[in-house]
Structure 1
Amino acid sequence: MSKAADNIRFVIIMAATLFVMSLGALRLMKLQLVDGSSYLQKSLSSNTAEQVINAPRGEIADSSGEYLVSNKAGFNAVIQKAFFPTDNREINRIILKVANVLEEENVSWEDALPISENAPFEFLPDRESDIARLRKNIGVQVYGTAEECIIAMTGLYETDPQLTDREKRIIAGVRYTMYLRDFSVSNRYTFAEDITMEAVVRLKELTYELDGVDIVQEAVREVKTGDVIPHLIGTVGAISAEEYDQLKGSGYALNDTLGKGGIEKAMESTLRGKKGVRTLEIQGGAVVNDEITEEAVPGNTIKLTVDSDYQRKVQTILENHIYWLNNQTSSKAKGTEANAGALVVLDARSGALLAGATAPTYDLKDYLENYSKVANGENSPLLNRVTSGLYRPGSTFKTVTATAALNEGIISPTDVVNCQKYYTYWEGWSPECTGYHGRLNVVGALRESCNIFFYEVGRVMGIDRITEYASKYGLGEEMGLETGRGVKTGYIASPDTFEARQQVWQAGNVIQAAIGQSDTYVTPLQMADQALMIGNRGVRYQTYMVDSVYTYNMEELVSKTEPTVAAVIEDKTGHTFDKVIEGMEEAAAFKAYTYPTVKEYYTDSYLLTELPKKAAIKTGTPQMTSKSDTGSAFIGFYPADDPDIAFSGFVEKGEYSKLMIRELIEAYYNKDYHIEKLGGRTEEELAAALSDNEDTDSFDEDNEDLED
């Protein structure tokens, strides 16, 4: 090629270069001179945004001050909207990156999408309202499938179609939850709470490629003691759409948490605290100042009336009894199918709940970690039988009938009824008693638990008096326990109850009602309050479990619960309660026979006569669904003359529930009382502890039901 041609080429290249440079210069001049003021104004413009600072939730302690639920310093992975990209593909990349790190470190995150985690995608059970809301929010027809919802969200969020089904589901779940939690500059999004230190380190290392993702140290709810009254403590969780609609006027946001049950829910306003405010100054699209303009105020701490040590002992007493019943070795064993029950202990002077054991039970920590396993446990462990188990009270109800008959002058203390086992008032129907008791007055009838006596008294007195006094005793009534929801009221057999249940009331129903049968169903909590009222000779207190409220860390007392009288039965005769209590004292001392298998576990430790003072009790063996399906119940108080505690118990399909009473009383007075769980022993230890004892010669076949 000639030198002239090279020169021409050089000139052309230089001209092109100068042309491009000229265009750049013109563009730069336009930016600086024509649009410069506009861009300068944008760079100088600023605005502010406020972010909420969550307040630490108040803690929950037992009566001794031991924390059951508290807060700990934990690390949360959050996303700040002000620093988060707006491009969908970049958003999806960051979400997947964070999710992968968390998954590899076995850290879970919140996912409100009601669709299974893996393909083939299906809607989750029992989420109908959430599914309907999802379809509406993403524009899918009302009968759209889970697969169709995932496809719709893949398009809505511009998800890369080359990603796996699992990755598409992760993105859909996180982004939909962001939407539900109102993710914005004012409301950051909490991706995951209380993440591991390994996850913290890994996410911190990736900060440069995870715009908007931050690790913050905050107060995280911690269950410190999960095996103490878990049903009554409750849990916290993310606010639902329905809850938000009700609470948004009270300052709640879509990304808030709140109590979901028990004390956590009932005392929400006390535990919640007051949110703080962080003010962000944004200039030119960047945060240039970050200042806390209002400090958060922690919620108040609640101190309960329940002592953890005593609660555990009562729980063990109940579980041991059921275990012993299941593992009896005597040929005359009874109640071997026992599978559930409840024990309640109240402060007789105030109505405060001291212990409330239910079996089977669960640990709150297990509930939070694996809800499905707990919920699907055998014999419904999520049912709090203390407050929500409805049972026929059986012969424990005879104290109500006795009170009404004595107080209204239907009978006197000396009036007698002749029990010949069968009640023959009606021709063609002869309900029976547990034995031939002969002539008994009211004290003897309570001691022997004679059906015939109370059949006759109930028939003469009528159902109106029975239901009137049952109501005063709190049976079928609100108990006042702070947890509220889930505390059932039950009902008493009456013409009104039968009509409401579309049943026909007959004259013979009144005598069944008089002995706690028919359609009378009450809770163990109500039965304990019934015992309390007898022990206090006609004064019944409202039950409660919140002893006091303190500022955070229990630094200052805010309020103290004072006992509240719920009802009073005036002793019109001056001897009404004396006679009922006398009958209950004799029932406590009554030992008509040796329990057939008692020496396998209880030996003579069950005898109430060995206590320092007299006890007062009434037992019952109510039929649950049929004559062969019975339970074992008791009510009582101690000491009989001036009680410290009142109590009740019920064992479903069980027997001999009164054998637990002495342990229950002794454990109350001795905090170091040793109760070893039977269920934790080896086969060899059990064989020794439950060795067969055939010494049952004194067992009276005719008195098998004397407990009732």
Structure 2
Amino acid sequence: MRRRNTQYAVRNTQYAIRNGILRLATVLLLAFILIGAAIPYWGVVRAQELTARPDNPRLVEAERRLDRGRILDRNGQVLVRSNIDADGIAHRRYPYPQLAPVLGYWSLKHGTAGIERAFNDPLRALPMSFRASLDQWLYHRLPVGHDVVLTIDLELQRVADQALGDVRGAVVLLDAQSGAILAMASHPTFDPARIDEDFARLKDDPGRPLLNRATQGRYPPGSTFKTVTLAAALQEGLVYPGQMFEDGDETLYVEGFPIHCDNNPRGVNRFDLAHAYAYSCNLTFARLGLELGTKRFKEYAGRFRIGREIPLEIPTATSQLANDPLLMSQVLLASTAFGQGELLVTPLNMALVAATIANNGVMPQPYLAEQIQPRDAEPSAIRNTQYAVRNRRILGVPITEATAQQVRDIMITSVQDGYARRAQIPGAVVGGKTGTAQLGGEDTEPHAWFIGWAQKAGDPDARTYAIAVIVENGGEGSLVATPIAQQVLQAAVNADRTGN
């Protein structure tokens, strides 16, 4: 009996041990299954999210050592590069820091801006090829970033910066047919290589050097906007070239507000449409605005991209026009038609207005990046390949070719026999319009404007250059902005003559 009890106790003990081992094995098996499932989940499904976290020290260290791609001008001139020091740390260098409003900056502390942000992935060699990924995984070799080739012409950019000088303002020069931006100056500027040291000061600077005035500055356009009103009135058949006006000595009262020709240097009462534009008669263009009416005026403003986004690789502001209740006011409609009133525009927008007139009524889509170029590739092998950044596109056709030709002829008159005569260039056909945007207050100087275009004379196939210049609180557009535009356009036309 005692022996039987002992055997029973032994069997119970063995059973309990087996059950314990089985339970332990089951727990361990489940744990291994969970671990096995977690590894691919975190290592594959959530890998990109984890590695991209800004607090990932391996990512920060990799960024410090990454040889980011270069940024080049259209002729291969280096605008941005990385220098690797003795410890393997990369330092971003900007040989031409004046272009900072376009190029932006790269900083582990403050992030990226401008072209550095827009093309951050290719500059970091993303997405990586299979070979580059394998090298990084097996040998811990960091990839070499791709180069980004811009449409900017460094020589024309230098001319734009030098012509603008130390004033606050902007210059936009573009190819009127393709929309390629050849120069974009915004002053004051900053040194992007010192962004970590200077960021707090730059952010509080009243001159706002971190603002790209060319794409994000919004200003009343002054008389340059008469170009839009002129195009709309001609397109609608409200006026015709050669039409005569007796507005020189007249005063038009709109809701009790007097409008007259402030600029009548010849002292004549009678002049044609071209000279009403050339000498910037507010009264004539107020009449045209009132004849267009609120609905048609807003429609044509929208066609010329006022109140509509302008797509570009870097941030742009949208030009603003008063809403319908305000524009229903006849006095506001009249004053907006000659460039004052409730209207704010960007220099880029006004450069596109000039480009549309020069380009037979077609508004090109502006762009800054021509192509992405792997560091080890020949430039000739990149063009027209999968690395091309974009195909040529347009933003719209605001007016017909016939209307554009009429406006071009009137803009030529403005340069040959008007306030824009300082824009004349020997050997070139130039059209343009000056603007002096009043800001209100006797102690505040107006903004000085010029918009226009130029093409080598005698060669209809030559490239046409469109430009917009603004000098904040610069005074008269004809005296201040026009000479700046003339210098830049002359450099562009001369470069075209030499085939550069």
- Please give the residue correspondences for 1:283-298 in structure 2 after superposition, counting only pairs within 5 Å: 292=138, 295-298=141-144
- 2: CA distance, partners of 1:646 / 1:477: 20
- 1: CA distance, partners of 2:101 / 2:495: 23
Q: What secondary structure, in the 3-state scheme, does the structure 2 residue paired with 1:462 have?
A: helix
Corresponding residue of 2:298: 467
2:95 is the alignment partner of 1:225:
yes
Corresponding residue of 2:210: 382
Which of 522, 534, 537 is matched with 2:357 structurally?
Answer: 534
Residue 378 (structure 1) shift: 5.4
Number of residue pairs the alignment of both structures matches: 417
Corresponding residue of 1:263: 115
- 2: CA distance, partners of 1:668 / 1:311: 10
- 2: CA distance, partners of 1:671 / 1:270: 31
Residue 398 (structure 1) shift: 0.7
Corresponding residue of 1:117: none
Asked if 1 retains the 8 angstrom alpha-carbon contact of 2:223 and 2:434, the reply is: yes
Which of 391, 407, 416 is matched with 2:244 structurally?
Answer: 416
Q: What secondary structure, in the 3-state scheme, does the structure 2 residue paired with 1:579 have?
A: helix
Letter in 2 for 1:232: V
- 2: CA distance, partners of 1:342 / 1:457: 30
Change (3 A) 1:75 1:609: closer
- 2: CA distance, partners of 1:313 / 1:377: 26
Change (3 A) 1:372 1:239: closer
- 2: CA distance, partners of 1:663 / 1:268: 34
With structure 2 as the length reference, what TM-score do the two structures score?
A: 0.75
Change (3 A) 1:635 1:296: same
Residue 464 (structure 1) shift: 1.9
Letter in 2 for 1:60: I
Letter in 1 for 2:289: G
- 1: CA distance, partners of 2:180 / 2:440: 32
- Please give the residue correspondences for 1:636-655 in structure 2 after superposition, counting only pairs within 5 Å: 636-639=452-455, 642=460, 644-654=464-474, 655=476
Residue 237 (structure 1) shift: 2.7
Corresponding residue of 1:73: 84
2:460 is the alignment partner of 1:632:
no
Change (3 A) 1:524 1:236: same
- 2: CA distance, partners of 1:429 / 1:72: 63
Corresponding residue of 2:225: 397
- 1: CA distance, partners of 2:351 / 2:67: 36
- 2: CA distance, partners of 1:544 / 1:226: 20
Asked if 1 retains the 8 angstrom alpha-carbon contact of 2:101 and 2:186, the reply is: no
Which residues of structure 1 form unaligned runs of 5+?
1-47, 77-216, 241-258, 280-289, 323-338, 499-503, 594-605, 674-708
Residue 441 (structure 1) shift: 3.3
Asked if 1 retains the 8 angstrom alpha-carbon contact of 2:260 and 2:281, the reply is: no
Q: What secondary structure, in the 3-state scheme, does the structure 2 residue paired with 1:459 have?
A: helix
- 2: CA distance, partners of 1:671 / 1:638: 13
- Please give the residue correspondences for 1:8-27 in structure 2 after superposition, counting only pairs within 5 Å: none
Change (3 A) 1:368 1:312: farther
2:73 is the alignment partner of 1:62:
yes
Which of 185, 198, 205 is matched with 1:357 structurally?
Answer: 185
- 2: CA distance, partners of 1:306 / 1:460: 41
Corresponding residue of 1:660: 484
1:534-586 deviations in Å (ceiling 9; x for gaps): 00120111110001111125545222533211111342xx6422221121111
Residue 618 (structure 1) shift: 0.5
- 2: CA distance, partners of 1:450 / 1:664: 27
Letter in 2 for 1:304: L
Which of 585, 608, 611 is matched with 2:412 structurally?
Answer: 585
Which of 369, 377, 381 is matched with 1:546 structurally?
Answer: 369
Q: What secondary structure, in the 3-state scheme, does the structure 2 residue paired with 1:260 have?
A: strand
Which of 121, 142, 152 is matched with 1:306 structurally?
Answer: 152
Q: What secondary structure, in the 3-state scheme, does the structure 2 residue paired with 1:659 have?
A: helix
Asked if 2 retains the 8 angstrom alpha-carbon contact of 1:226 and 1:364, the reply is: no
Asked if 2 retains the 8 angstrom alpha-carbon contact of 1:394 and 1:633, the reply is: yes
- Please give the residue correspondences for 1:444-593 in structure 2 after superposition, counting only pairs within 5 Å: 444-484=275-315, 487-495=316-324, 498=326, 506-555=329-378, 557=382, 558-571=387-400, 575-590=402-417
Q: What secondary structure, in the 3-state scheme, does the structure 2 residue paired with 1:231 have?
A: helix
Q: What secondary structure, in the 3-state scheme, does the structure 2 residue paired with 1:561 have?
A: coil
- 2: CA distance, partners of 1:639 / 1:291: 54
Letter in 1 for 2:454: Y
Change (3 A) 1:640 1:538: farther
Residue 400 (structure 1) shift: 0.7
- 1: CA distance, partners of 2:137 / 2:354: 59
1:94-124 deviations in Å (ceiling 9; x for gaps): xxxxxxxxxxxxxxxxxxxxxxxxxxxxxxx
- 1: CA distance, partners of 2:337 / 2:268: 18
Letter in 1 for 2:123: L
Q: What secondary structure, in the 3-state scheme, does the structure 1 residue paired with 2:330 have?
A: coil
Letter in 2 for 1:508: V
Change (3 A) 1:232 1:608: closer
1:492-544 deviations in Å (ceiling 9; x for gaps): 23426x4xxxxx85221110111111111011111111100000120111110
Change (3 A) 1:672 1:528: closer
- 2: CA distance, partners of 1:437 / 1:298: 68
- 1: CA distance, partners of 2:349 / 2:209: 21
Asked if 1 retains the 8 angstrom alpha-carbon contact of 2:173 and 2:181, the reply is: yes
1:334-387 deviations in Å (ceiling 9; x for gaps): xxxxx4111110011211111111222222234344334444445222221111
- Please give the residue correspondences for 1:237-252 in structure 2 after superposition, counting only pairs within 5 Å: 237-238=107-108
Percent of aligned positions with the same letter in both sequences? 29
Change (3 A) 1:438 1:577: farther
Which residues of structure 2 form unaligned runs of 5+?
1-38, 44-50, 52-57
Q: What secondary structure, in the 3-state scheme, does the structure 2 residue paired with 1:566 have?
A: strand
Change (3 A) 1:620 1:365: same
Asked if 2 retains the 8 angstrom alpha-carbon contact of 1:392 and 1:522, the reply is: yes
Q: What secondary structure, in the 3-state scheme, does the structure 1 residue paired with 2:163 have?
A: helix
Asked if 2 retains the 8 angstrom alpha-carbon contact of 1:417 and 1:453, the reply is: yes
Residue 260 (structure 1) shift: 1.6
Change (3 A) 1:591 1:467: closer
Asked if 1 retains the 8 angstrom alpha-carbon contact of 2:69 and 2:124, the reply is: yes
Asked if 2 retains the 8 angstrom alpha-carbon contact of 1:277 and 1:293, the reply is: no
2:429 is the alignment partner of 1:614:
yes
| Cα RMSD (Å) | 3.2
Q: What secondary structure, in the 3-state scheme, does the structure 2 residue paired with 1:361 have?
A: coil
- 2: CA distance, partners of 1:609 / 1:70: 39
- 1: CA distance, partners of 2:451 / 2:426: 17
Corresponding residue of 2:3: none
Residue 465 (structure 1) shift: 1.6
- 2: CA distance, partners of 1:592 / 1:236: 44
2:294 is the alignment partner of 1:440:
no
Letter in 1 for 2:405: D
- 2: CA distance, partners of 1:623 / 1:640: 34
Corresponding residue of 1:344: 172
- 1: CA distance, partners of 2:422 / 2:238: 34
Letter in 2 for 1:452: L
1:47-100 deviations in Å (ceiling 9; x for gaps): x99977665322211111122222222245xxxxxxxxxxxxxxxxxxxxxxxx
Residue 291 (structure 1) shift: 8.1
- 1: CA distance, partners of 2:359 / 2:496: 28
Asked if 2 retains the 8 angstrom alpha-carbon contact of 1:443 and 1:579, the reply is: no
Q: What secondary structure, in the 3-state scheme, does the structure 2 residue paired with 1:357 have?
A: strand
Change (3 A) 1:311 1:554: farther
- 1: CA distance, partners of 2:424 / 2:70: 43
